[in-house]
DNA sequence: AGAATGATATTATCATATGAATATATCGCG
DNA sequence: CGCGATATATTCATATGATAATATCATTCT
């Protein structure tokens, strides 16, 4: 395992560049759990950066539960169950290069646990201002119904707004999971205006349930929405696979 | 806002000591969102450590979404909604010094979203070895039913085992939330053997539902368990408050 | 007033040195 | 030969001083 020098053209400076490289290498499994990383000097040479940067990166990876440093032994990759998979960096490293059908499933399992409860709480606690915010996001989605690129942003904002409306910061912190899900499905699905229009209707149902404070209906509406979204992803993954197979 | 020199007797070295101090200061609100931290040199002086340590700590806090550093501007505390509240460090900083009734409520809201689904998935996927593991943890709980200190550990292990049995790493990563909840309730509740015995029965129900693969019953059993646990915490918080009031 | 310019404070990075911890090898002794 | 004490080498942990990059702010010029 060797690394290439990082370019400082990378967004966020050398630290971010090295962090992403190393993080991805570990997530990809290039450096397996239990294995030790090259020592700080070697990493410094390989990446072409100072040890200062290397050490900061290692400390950040350690904070995410991915590695553990000890004198003499070196820095070793920890077991996967110690990693904080809800960390947005790890999510990105894991899924930016593509997603397997099983991984998509795991994201939807979590969303099915979180979002119905979030919608429920939102329905109980929403203020008129909150509803107005949702309306605004939904209006943008409607406006960009035929533009899948711009559609994604208000879609994400809509779901995140609901998480915030719970008034529970633990829920809000799960926004990165949903963001990952939406980014993945965006990269996956080809332009699909009728799918987006169907999605709009479901979002509208959800909004109305929240607006009238009907927690049960809000929860149910989210589930329907998630079914639809997962079906979309499932279809796209299938299409992609058969595309590769035939190509 | 000034900081005291850290002792290197602290577990985990200077880095961890400074990280905890700074992290707690921010979580407590001593340094409000939007405010800037003292610059690296000042922090170095105040904590009595080198800039190396300060910079590593700041990078880790940045990775948790709590601060943002820019040249000239300095390092400023980000808005709370950017913090990763599911991070175990942040959870500890938030709740180690005590917990408010509303915060306890927010933890249980999340647990009610997560754990029923986790139990459901566990019921569908559990292997005989998984069941045996749960039995082992439950046996330990039974063994320490009258020893609230040792009871906590297998209790936590039991719940975390279920999260792992989902086979979904996103769920496993929520273990820290449950750990925090159990640690908090442990510090809160006075010795309460009959409460623990009642809890044992509920855990047994849950285990049996998972063992026979009954997802609905497993999910329902968790909810009952959570109701009981929250009621316990609620009672303890009330008792503590009135204790303070009368003392 | 507004744009260009330079001074300044701060982080970002680098290079090097020293300290501390620990796994491994070595040596001495029974 | 076996075993424990000790030495040694390797690695991370921390410290320090210097330079680069960059964003802000005041100032100057138009």
Is-contact A199 A145, C-beta < 8 A? no
Q: How many Cβ atoms sit within 10 Å of the Cβ of residue B246?
A: 6
Percentage of chain A with pLDDT > 90? 77
Q: ipTM of the predicted structure?
A: 0.93
Residues in chain B closer than 8 A to A174 (CB atoms)? 86
Residue boundaries of the structural domains of chain B: 13-82, 98-246
Bridge partners (DSSP) listed for residue B75? B69
Summarize pLDDT for A175-217 with one digit per residue, the tens.
999 998 888 888 887 778 888 899 999 999 999 999 999 999 9
What pLDDT is recorded for position A32? Answer: 97
What pLDDT is recorded for position A247? Answer: 46
pLDDT higher than threshold 50 for residue B84: yes
What pLDDT is recorded for position A196? Answer: 87
As a whole number of angstroms, the distance between CA A216 and CA A227 comes to: 17
* Of residues B109, B116, B168, nearest to A168 (C-beta): B109
What pLDDT is recorded for position B4? Answer: 87
What pLDDT is recorded for position A241? Answer: 65
CA of B71 to C1' of D27 (A): 22
pLDDT higher than threshold 60 for residue B247: no
What pLDDT is recorded for position B9? Answer: 60
What pLDDT is recorded for position A144? Answer: 93
* Partner-chain contact A169 B83, CB within 8 Å: yes
Q: Rounded to an integer, what is the distance from CA B91 to the centroid of its chain?
A: 5
User: How much is the average pLDDT of B8-16?
Assistant: 78
Nearest CA in chain A to B60: A60
What pLDDT is recorded for position B39? Answer: 95
Tokens describing residue A99: 């997603």
Closest-approach nucleotide to residue B6, Cα vs C1': D14
Percentage of chain B with pLDDT > 90? 77
pLDDT band (50, 70, 90) for residue A97: confident
Query: Is residue A9 helix, strand or coil?
Result: coil
For every residue of A71-134, which 3-state class applies, written as one string? CCCEEEECCHHHCCCCCHHHHHHHHCCCCCHHHHHHHHHHHHHHHHHHHHHHHHHCCHHHHHHH
What pLDDT is recorded for position B154? Answer: 96
As a whole number of angstroms, the distance between CA A118 and CA A160 comes to: 10
- Select the highest-mean-pLDDT range: A3-17, A184-198, B99-113: B99-113
What pLDDT is recorded for position B98? Answer: 85
What pLDDT is recorded for position B129? Answer: 98
* Partner-chain contact B80 A169, CB within 8 Å: yes
What pLDDT is recorded for position B97? Answer: 84
What pLDDT is recorded for position B89? Answer: 96
User: How much is the average pLDDT of B81-89?
Assistant: 96
A185/B216: higher pLDDT = B216
* Of residues A86, A113, A171, nearest to B173 (C-beta): A86
Closest-approach nucleotide to residue B70, Cα vs C1': C11
Summarize pLDDT for A49-95 with one digit per residue, the tens.
999 999 999 999 999 999 999 999 999 999 999 999 999 999 999 99
What fold is seen in the domain B98-246?
A: 1.20.120
Q: Which CATH code fits B13-82?
A: 1.10.10.10
User: How much is the average pLDDT of A170-174?
Assistant: 97
Among the residue ranges B11-15, B59-63, B109-113, B165-169, the one predicted with the least confidence is: B11-15
Q: Does A117 touch chain B (CB under 8 A)?
A: yes
A96/B46: higher pLDDT = B46
Closest-approach nucleotide to residue A42, Cα vs C1': D11
Q: Which residue has the tokens 């009734």?
A: B101
pLDDT higher than threshold 80 for residue B1: no
Q: Which residue has the tokens 């921010």?
A: B26
Q: Which pairing describes strands A67-70 and B67-70: parallel, antiparallel, or unpaired?
A: unpaired
* Partner-chain contact B170 A60, CB within 8 Å: no
């Amino acid at each position: 395992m060797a690394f290439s020098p990082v370019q400082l053209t990378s967004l966020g400076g050398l630290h971010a560049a090295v962090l992403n490289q190393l993080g991805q290498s570990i997530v990809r499994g290039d450096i397996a759990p239990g294995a030790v990383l090259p020592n700080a000097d070697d990493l410094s040479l390989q990446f072409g950066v100072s040890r200062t940067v290397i050490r900061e990166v290692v400390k950040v990876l350690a904070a995410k539960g991915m590695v553990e440093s000890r004198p003499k032994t070196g820095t070793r990759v920890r077991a996967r169950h110690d990693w904080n998979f809800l960390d947005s960096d790890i999510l990105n490293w894991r899924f930016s290069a593509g997603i397997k059908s099983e991984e998509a499933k795991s994201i939807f399992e979590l969303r099915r646990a979180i979002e119905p409860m979030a919608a429920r709480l939102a329905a109980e606690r929403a203020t008129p201002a909150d509803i107005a915010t949702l309306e605004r996001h939904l209006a943008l989605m409607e406006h960009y119904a035929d533009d899948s690129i711009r559609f994604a942003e208000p879609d994400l904002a809509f779901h995140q707004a609901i998480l915030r409306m719970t008034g529970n910061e633990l829920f809000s912190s799960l926004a990165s999971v949903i963001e990952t899900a939406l980014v993945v499905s965006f990269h996956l699905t080809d332009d699909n205006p009728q799918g987006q229009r169907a999605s709009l209707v479901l979002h509208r149902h959800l909004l109305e349930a929240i607006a009238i404070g009907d927690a049960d209906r809000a929860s149910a509406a989210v589930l329907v929405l998630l079914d639809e979204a997962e079906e979309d992803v499932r279809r796209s993954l299938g299409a992609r696979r058969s595309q590769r197979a035939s190509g």
